[in-house]
Amino acid sequence: MYRALIRPLLYLLPAETAHHLAFGCLRLVAAIPGVSSIMRRAFHRASGTSRVRALGLVFPNPIGLAAGFDKDAIGYEALGALGFGFVEVGTLTGRPQPGNPRPRLFRLPEDRALVNRMGFNNRGSADAVERLRRPRKTIVGVNIGKTKAVPEPDAIGDYVASARRLGPHADYVAVNVSSPNTPGLRDLQATDKLRPLLQSVREALNEVSPARHVPLLVKIAPDLANEDVDAVADLALEIGLDGIIATNTTVRREGLRSDPADVARCGGGGLSGPPLNDRSLEVLKRLKSIVGDRMVLISVGGIETAEQAWERIRAGATLIQLYTALVYEGPLLPSKMAKGVAQLRQRG
């Protein structure tokens, strides 16, 4: 029904408008008394027995929603009711910001891909606190990034402010230094800059949540050179990071099937979807070869099927994240994929 009827109607709208409409409808339906519980029972039952113990938590299944879909933590329970094992909200910044001018989200249907140059549009980390402190049924990770207007020398303070606000209410915190849409952000992936940033965020989380260890992860770009991927892995081990999320979107455009004119109309920004699959898998394998079983690896980028998710798990991922595939396949995808992974796991 989604691919035959709903998706064609949504695709008549600009991509960002369609996103807000679909997400708003989901939240509206889930807000009807009793509906969210019915959805959760139905979709999580369909996902089979696929619990995962990681980060001190028990995930109902390994299929999560990547950051960027629910930027302001306004609908994570509705998304969790669809069958996601966890939802990562954000990216949230220290200060509210509007993001880049529209249009800033584009579809490339021939590649089943998206291009976004959103620019961390969000209401700011302080605004999300009240919603995240509510009792919830969904495991929620919180992705934090740098406010665009904050100069690089003040970046650590910006991240720390968000960590202090959100850490007590997050099941884990992910430091985003890999979006291509905030000028200079990816420079923070250099280990000489990343080390003090992650150490400062870790100290802040320990201070605001002394009774509970808040897991800390870092999200990296697929465009890092292999030696830089290795350096991040070594640093993560050195400072005792809980995990790495690999990978964010790419600025590369090689090998696309879409008409070059359509690609050009998208302009700059991050490409997501199947064109990212091979590199994301390659980065995962490199990380696994270094960190082994000493930390959690969350794999994201180009995953569309249970078979691909299972391949990532066998390559070393503990958990999986989706985003672009949800746009192309619709709301039944998370429970379908979780069920498929459970079946593949049973077969060995």
φ, ψ dihedrals at 173, nearest 5°: -120, 135
305 with 282: CB under 8 angstroms? no
Give me the tens of pLDDT residue by residue for the chain, a chain 348 residues long. Answer: 777 788 888 888 999 999 999 999 999 999 999 999 999 988 887 666 688 999 999 999 999 999 999 999 999 999 999 999 999 999 999 999 999 999 999 999 999 999 999 999 999 999 999 999 999 999 999 999 999 999 988 999 999 999 999 999 999 999 998 766 666 656 666 778 899 999 999 999 999 999 999 999 999 999 998 988 999 999 999 999 999 999 999 999 999 999 999 999 998 899 999 999 999 999 999 999 999 999 999 999 999 999 999 999 999 999 999 999 999 999 999 999 999 999 999 887
* Phi, psi torsion values for 226, nearest 5 degrees: -55, -40
- Which pLDDT score, from 0 to 100, does residue 184 have? 61
Expressed in angstroms, the distance from the first to the final Cα of the chain is 32
Total of domains in the chain: 1
Q: What is the DSSP string of 63-81?
A: EEEPTTSSTTSSSHHHHHH
Spell out the alpha helix ranges (H) of 173-268.
Answer: 191-208, 226-239, 260-266
- Kindly state the DSSP code that residue 122 receives in the 8-state scheme: B
The whole-number pLDDT of residue 133 equals: 95
Confidence at residue 179, expressed as pLDDT on a 0 to 100 scale? 67
Which single residue is written with the structure tokens 């600009």?
14
d(CA 287, CA 98): 34
Question: What is the domain range of residue 218?
Answer: 2-347
β-partners of residue 174 are 143, 217
Residue 179 bears catalytic tag = yes
Contacts of 260 (CB under 8 A, 6+ apart): none
Q: What pLDDT was estimated at residue 178?
A: 74
How many residues appear in the chain? 348
Which candidate in 50, 125, 178, 179 is catalytic?
179
Report the DSSP pairing between strands 86-93 and 105-108. unpaired
In 75-187, DSSP assigns E strands to 86-93, 105-108, 113-116, 140-145, 172-176
For 29, left (φ over 0), alpha (ψ -120 to 50), or beta? alpha
Q: What is the CATH number of the domain that holds 229?
A: 3.20.20.70
pTM listed for this prediction: 0.94
Confirm if 83 and 61 have CB atoms less than 8 A apart: yes
